[in-house]
Structure 1
Amino acid sequence: MNWDDLRYFLALARLNTVSAAGRDLGVKHTTVSRRIKALEQQLKTRLFDQLHYGYALTQAGENLYPHAVIMEEQAHSLDRNILGLDSQLEGRLKLTAAHDVFSRLVIPHLGLFKRAYPKIDLQLLGATGLADLSARQADIALRLTAKPPDNLIGKRVLPLTLGIYASKKYLDSLDDINHPKDAVLWQDEQIPDWLNQHFSSCNVTVRANDVTTILACLNNHMGIARIPCYLGDSSPELRRIDIPLSPSKWSVWVLSHVDLRATARVRACRTFLIDIIKGQENLISGLQSQYYR
């Protein structure tokens, strides 16, 4: 069975519509439909039922799915092993990180990397979710995490420090800094200890599902929030409130798949990222904080 045919099968099985599968594979939706029909004709069985909400696997499709997943992992493993033999400081290199990590910690320093390695085609994949390094969605990940996946190798560069921040304008408007009226939390976050302990009379007025939105709320004077110090301290309008917080269990990690440990351009980029993160220790650790007085 042709692995390339199974790529279309897996994309449609996971995404349920030919348009979404086409976007994922970088082809037209008509190509997806044509390849699925060809695969069904080859196997002499129907793999999908077309329903009002999209495509659903038939029993034959359900039976094929786990075998297709095994072939997918074998193909990705072969791809990683071939890349792992690469000793050249040139070619495509995909780096993934959250949007705020890119904008505050990485991009201001990327000129140094491009001047040092002009033949590396660096691709930045900003995302709120986690790219799958096993599937070669990215070659290197710069992640904020408490514990990286076991199938990745890398380095814990620095611990992540968090602080309670608000805009100076918002804090100036308060009668008492110890009694702010508004808090911004994560979308599904329970009321955190720091809010109960230090600002028990504060109301949760906004929730958001990413830190960039929370930062925008703070910069628009909508209350207080706990954010990483590298964001709060690099935002001129924000001030840190001087209260004790439990240390974060999260750290800044530079990660890649174990199969890519010998690839020259991956090693070069990992070393570069570790160096620039270490060079921003004061910012990441909150030692540059402007406390509200």
Structure 2
Amino acid sequence: MHQGFAIMHNWDDFRYFLAVANCGSFSMAAKALGVNHSTVSRRIQVLEERHGVRLLDRTPTGYQMTEAGASIYDIVQTIQDNELKASRVLLGQDSRLEGNIKLTMPHDLFESCLAAPVKQFCHQHPAIELSLLVSHGLKNLANREADIAVRLTPNPPDYLVGTCITQMQHGIYAHTSQSHLKTTPIIVWGQEPELPEWALTHFHKPFIALRVDDLASMHRAVQAGFGVARMPCFFPDAVQAADVKRLPIELPRSDWGVWLLSHADLRNTARIQRCRQFLTTALTDLIPTFEGKHSRY
């Protein structure tokens, strides 16, 4: 009995080791685990002292595993993967319409299109507690960082099950005061190294005026008069800003789809099923918006 308790206790410390090994720093590991920096440091110290070995070395680029740490990494990762799988299997058999659901989606999609439907779901199911995750970066559904995801993607991961609601339409948007200029200022995504093809094809002497890393910021930049931008129609057409117009330039339909996804192990969880059904209806109602049918030219 005492030995079993010690093993359980040890595993919790190993979890801290795994987080630091994966994140490369105590601060990032603390953020991932939802604890403070000193807790991570203390738990790693306890683990190393208990076993009489050093598992992590501090380097100029972050913490790196020692030989001892590397020797147990795969074992600890497998234990965590199995623990998460066991949790998903049990959750997959939960027939109650109560409990927590972690729902993730891009913040611009929530703000422009889904805030009201999500509020309606919460009103209809007060026993279901919704945790909404809209920060930058994709949540890992395998690690239970989220239970349901609305993703804008061309290809979701194979381990997820779900539905492509529709393919997105993009449009080219400008401020209503935009007129024919000797040169055309273009707003592009931060990762685009040079002018995109649409700018070279449709505009006279285009040049990059601004780079952004966020759809809401791109729309706001157009509204502020920075220049012309290519955006998925759902955001500007849902916001309906009076000073932003879609230009009469037809673009081919995007290969990016609007996907509603969850982990395969959770397909029979009652509250997950109910939430997926609700979101499927809400997203289906928004298909004309995703397809650019409400644009103001």
1:213 to 195, 217, 220: 217
Deviation, 1:52, is: 4.8
Code of the residue aligned with 1:223 in structure 2: it is: G
Indicate which of 241, 250, 256 corresponds to 1:250: 256
| Equivalence for 1:191 | 195
The DSSP-based 3-state class of the residue aligned with 1:184 is strand
Whether 2:71 is the aligned partner of 1:67: answer no
Could you say what secondary structure the match of 1:3 adopts?
helix
CA distance in structure 2 between the aligned counterparts of 1:180 and 1:229, rounded to whole angstroms:
25
Match of 1:152 in 2: 160
Q: Relative to 1, partners in 2 of residues 1:128 and 1:22: Cα closer, same or farther, differing over 3 Å?
A: closer
Q: After TM superposition, which residue ranges in structure 1, 4 or more long, deviate above 3 angstroms?
A: 51-54
Shift of 1:49: 1.5
- Residue identity opposite 2:66 in structure 1: T
Return the TM-score normalized by structure 2: 0.91
CA contact (8 A) 2:184 2:205 kept: yes
Match runs of 1:36-185 below 5 Å: 36-52=44-60, 54-169=62-177, 171=178, 174-175=179-180, 181-185=184-188
Task: Please say if residues 167 and 253 of structure 2, whose CA atoms lie closer than 8 Å, have aligned partners that are also in contact.
Answer: no
Q: 1:20 to 1:128 in 2, by over 3 A?
A: closer
Shift of 1:61: 1.1
Q: Is the 8 A contact 2:148 2:272 kept in 1?
A: yes
Preserved contact between residue 180 and residue 223 of structure 1 (Cα < 8 Å): no
Could you tell me the TM-score, scaled by structure 1's length? Answer: 0.93
Q: Output the CA distance in 1 between the equivalents of 2:90 and 2:204.
A: 57
After superposition, where does 1:219-258 map in structure 2 within 5 Å? 219-234=223-238, 235-236=240-241, 237-258=243-264
Cα RMSD over matched residues?
1.6
1:290 aligns with 2:296: yes
What amino acid does structure 1 have at the position aligned with 2:278? F
Instruction: Indicate the larger mover: 259-268 or 215-224.
Output: 215-224
For 1:5, give the aligned amino acid.
D
Following superposition, the deviation at residue 3 of structure 1 comes to 2.6
Match of 2:38 among 30, 37, 40: 30
- What is the alpha-carbon distance in structure 2 between the residues aligned to residue 85 and residue 53 of structure 1? 44
Unaligned runs of 5+ in 2: 1-6
Residue 13 (structure 1) aligned to one of 3, 13, 21: 21
CA contact (8 A) 1:3 1:72 kept: no
Per-residue deviation, 1:53 = 5.0
Query: How far, CA to CA, are the matches of 1:180 and 1:260 in structure 2?
Result: 53
1:269 and 2:275 aligned: yes
Find the aligned partners of 2:34 and 2:290 in 1 and give their Cα distance: 37
Question: Structure 1 counterpart of 2:45, which letter?
Answer: K
Does structure 2 retain, via aligned residues, the 8 Å contact 1:183–1:202?
yes
Q: How many residues align?
A: 286
TM-superposition CA deviations, 1:153-208 (whole Å, max 9, x none): 00111111110001213x1xx236xx662100011214322112111511111111
Matched, 1:204 2:208: yes
| Farther off after superposition, 39-48 or 263-272 | 39-48
The answer for unaligned runs of 5 or more in structure 1 is none
The whole-number CA distance in structure 2 between the counterparts of 1:180 and 1:86 is 60
